[in-house]
Amino acid sequence: MKTFLILGGGTGGTLMANKLAKRLDAHDWKIVVVDKDETHYYQPGFLFIPFGIYKPEDVVKQKRAFLPSNVEFIVSDIEKIEPAENRVVLKKDDRVLNYDTLLIATGTDIHPEEIEGMLDGGWHQNIFDFYTYAGTTALSQFLKKFNSGRLVFNVAEMPIKCPVAPLEFMMLADDYFVRRGIRSKVELVYATPLSGAFTKPRSSEALGGMLDKKGIHIEPDFAVSGVDSARNVISSYDGRELNYDLLVTIPTNMGADFIGRSGMGDDLNFVPTNKHTLQADKWPNIWVIGDAANVPASKAGAVAHFESDTLTENILHQIKGEPLEETFDGHANCYIESGHGKALLIDFNYDTEPLPGTYPLPVIGPFSLLKESVINHWGKLAFRWMYWNLIVKGRPMPVSTQMTMVGKRP
């Protein structure tokens, strides 16, 4: 019996366990998933909790419920991978797991300690993240009592997971304060390390214009140097200081610590990975899905879903001794909530930036690209159902794995 070991039972790990359970011969292969946490969070829902659109209980389910019954699930933190020995050491009881093939799916997490002063006094008092369950639920409580003042939002450095989430947060904050009748008493400032609202030129222009119209000030090229929580000031290396009453931050995003301890990561603990085959650069029997990889695709659940087709086929090719497919094209798509019951949709890959036009989808589509619409907002809300019922269960979706130009206006 051979062992297919999956580290991480979040979006990518769970959907691959489901796909491989259907495709690997159960007489030859045992699938094992390891995760430090029994709870599966629907992370896109973290965006809605501060504004009372989702309740905390709307985004949590048990990981075990989404794994096939013949997949072994071990709850433990991971100490290290020893790739030369084909084994993984767990923190729980120093247990050693041998593998024949390994899939790394341990995602990325925030590291507020990387920013000087971030954790000194203000953390979860008037400084919050919304990328963790604890952060977003604490922020929702704070916002209920926030009646006026200056909200500064800061992205520490790229890459971050879901790079559009900060823009969505700002536009939903505008909506939220309008709904509460206090928008004129709240100043919204978006301090980003980028030179505009987003990474890609055409969407940056479109989204920057939208922030402008909503009275959200962009502070571009803001490379954060530290936070002084005694003075409520965040500063940049070029000497700018922004004072805040409420600071919402996306601290440095990094891969799991054990990747670093195992000597397998880059300087942010992301695993060097072939961007078209998704095989780890240095180890042929190690594969990487989702946020854990250093590929230049967006770190998003939709991307992990698109990657899973290439990964499944390549893992099977390798087992049969066949050549690998270079089929992953960096395809990403993402709804962007813009407030007031509307959203945009962007669809892009390694080579094509988000373009205007339409995105075809049978029955409920088409959705408008790079343009606000009510139907896009319903698409964003329907994504939660699709996540639990199709995506993590590895079921087919009515969308093309590779990006197509159908409907797009170059």
Ligand X SMILES: Cc1cc2nc3c(=O)[nH]c(=O)nc-3n(C[C@H](O)[C@H](O)[C@H](O)COP(=O)(O)OP(=O)(O)OC[C@H]3O[C@@H](n4cnc5c(N)ncnc54)[C@H](O)[C@@H]3O)c2cc1C
What are the backbone dihedrals phi and psi of residue 213, each rounded to the nearest 5 degrees, phi first? Answer: -60, -30
Task: Single out the residue of 81, 138, 162, 207 in contact with ligand X (rule: CB under 6 A).
Answer: 162
Which segments of 281-369 are extended strands (E)?
286-288, 332-339, 342-348, 357-359, 367-369
Q: Find the binder of ligand X among 5, 9, 129, 229 (CB under 6 A).
A: 9
Minimum distance from residue 43 beta carbon to ligand X (Å): 3
Q: Which of 182/375 has CB closer to ligand X?
A: 375
Binding mask 266-295 for ligand X (x = CB under 6 A): ------------------------xxx---
> Which among 25-33, 105-113, 278-286, 360-368 is the span making contact with ligand X, rule CB under 6 A?
105-113
Both tokens of residue 266?
Answer: 């880059």
- Smallest separation, CB 231 to ligand X (Å): 28
User: Of these, 5, 17, 24, 44, which contacts ligand X (CB under 6 A)?
Assistant: 44
Question: In angstroms, what is the minimal distance from the CB of 365 to ligand X?
Answer: 17
> Whose Cβ is closer to ligand X: residue 235's or residue 246's?
246
Phi-psi region of 370 (alpha: psi -120 to 50; beta: other; left: phi over 0): left
Q: Does 50 bind ligand X (CB under 6 A)?
A: no
Strand-strand pairing, 60-62 and 342-348: unpaired
Crossing angle of helices 165-179 and 201-213, in 10° steps, is 10
Distance, C-alpha 82 to centroid of its chain: 27
Q: Which of residues 248-267 bind ligand X (CB under 6 A)?
A: 256, 258
Of 189, 250, 285, which is closest to residue 47 (Cα–Cα)?
250
Query: Using the rule CB under 6 A, which residue among 20, 102, 334, 344 binds ligand X?
Result: 334
Instruction: Report the length, in residues, of the chain.
Output: 410
| Residue 369 backbone class (left: φ over 0; alpha: ψ -120 to 50; beta: rest) | beta
The single residue listed with the structure tokens 């009748």 is: 181
Figure out which of the listed residues 6, 17, 71, 78 binds ligand X, where binding follows CB under 6 A.
Answer: 78
Q: Which of 249, 307, 247 has the alpha carbon at shortest distance from 277?
A: 307
Selected range binding ligand X among 115-123, 157-165, 265-273, 398-406, rule: CB under 6 A? 157-165
Instruction: List the strands of the sheet with 186-191, edge to edge.
Output: 127-128, 246-250, 149-155, 186-191, 216-219
Q: Does an H or E element contain 165, and which?
A: helix 165-179
Query: In the complex with ligand X, which residue's Cβ is closer, 230 or 397?
Result: 397
Shortest distance (Å) from residue 85 CB to ligand X: 19
Binding site for ligand X (CB under 6 A): 8-13, 34-37, 43-44, 46-47, 77-78, 105-107, 130-131, 161-162, 165, 256, 258, 290-292, 299-302, 304, 334
